[in-house]
Amino acid sequence: MSIITPVTRLESPAVKADALDARRLRDDFPIFAQSVNGHRLVYLDSAASSQKPRAVLDAMRDAYETGYANVHRGVHTLSQRATEAFEGARRKVARFINAASADEIVFVRGATEAINLVASTFGRSLRAGDEVVLSELEHHANIVPWQMLREERGIVLKIAPIDDTGTLSLDRFAALLSPRTRMVAMTHASNALGTITPIAEIIRLAHDAGALVLVDGCQAVPHAPVDVQAIGADFYAFSSHKLYGPTGIGVLWGRAAELNALPPYQGGGEMILSVTWERTTYKKAPHRFEAGTPPIVEAIGLGAAIDYLQGIGLGPIQAHEQGLLAYATQRLSALPRLRIVGTAERKAAIVSFVLEGVHPHDIGTILDQKGVAIRAGHHCAQPLMHRLGLPATARVSFGLYNTMDDIDKLVDGLHMVMELFD
């Protein structure tokens, strides 16, 4: 398997948006058969949550109809069938991100729980004065759990700054590292600006300082190949629902040695080897972190989403979305009164912007009347908005089903917005 890192693969090459047939792929997504407010649906909010292909919906329905039972503990046919499908999904995830073993894949409710799991368990070893380094690009899910630890244990949070383009400075990041740095928790790609961080170099610098690294990969894994061994991370988190899979499930990948060094996250069935009134012994990862009945059918749906994406190819998807990003940047930049927020050289397929004299919520509401769905708000990144001096932005984000026609519809809608607010 290639060891090209996501840093390289997520760069923004000069590519065309016809690298795959997005119009044909739209037919794989039942939601696009409908109209919204009398218009063809233009869905530009995949960074919040992606739409689901029929292959995922069919796999989940089939699991409920023909192979549903609780997993691991049953000896009957349905339980064995469900267990094989569930653990098969774990193996698919491991191959998808090039984990060394399926035992390094922990199923959780989403990336938020994955980050909380690490913060809650690793955090028990932290002492007052120990340091955790974040960045100004982080989603609240990678801020609040560490703030909670600061309140509980007196740790120190250091924040790696960005410049006005939204680019993270490696030199300024490196200057924050010290012998007290225990963890670096960093996004791979910003959900609010699209900025792609130089994650492999961040990890190298953190390891040189003796720190572990947790990567929020929610905005990376749907858009380009990610190899967790190549980038050298210790933990990597992402959610299914941004990866064309169902809600209610996500992934925490961790190196086996690091996972097994963590104490249990929750107590209950499945995560134990034995229980007496005197003591309990726990299983190794991943099961020690999966107390209770897991999201069985959701895992099967995630596995089906991975099959679907790999059938298309992450390379063509990346090329297609980078072409859309280039075209959208060109067209939006030409609009009067519009300013793109976040102009880093390397970006995922996300464009945030503000329009002079118009609140982002008004932009989103008016565009919706034309069937164009975008996101408006602080994008669960209020510290970043504060850094940029903005209360909110409008954000468009692309998926494999988007086309240049979608961008043209967006621009037509923005012309209407500007006319209304003249």
| Residue 88 · residue 110 · CB < 8 Å | no
The mean pLDDT value of the chain amounts to: 94
pLDDT at residue 97 in the model:
98
Q: Can you read off the two tokens belonging to residue 259?
A: 């996972």
Alpha helical stretches, state H, 98-143:
111-122
Q: Which fold has domain 56-310?
A: Aspartate Aminotransferase; domain 2 (3.40.640)
Q: Which fold has domain 6-53+313-420?
A: Aspartate Aminotransferase, domain 1 (3.90.1150)
Ramachandran angles phi, psi of 146, nearest 5° = -75, -35
pLDDT at 422 over 90: no
The catalytic site residues sit at 380
Mean pLDDT for 258-284 is 94
Alpha helical stretches, state H, 177-240:
199-208, 228-231
pTM: 0.94
Mean pLDDT for 265-279 is 93
Which residue ranges make up each domain of the chain?
A: 6-53+313-420, 56-310
**Span of 5-9, 43-47, 86-90 with lowest mean pLDDT:** 5-9
Mean pLDDT for 299-312 is 98
CA 257 to chain centre: 24
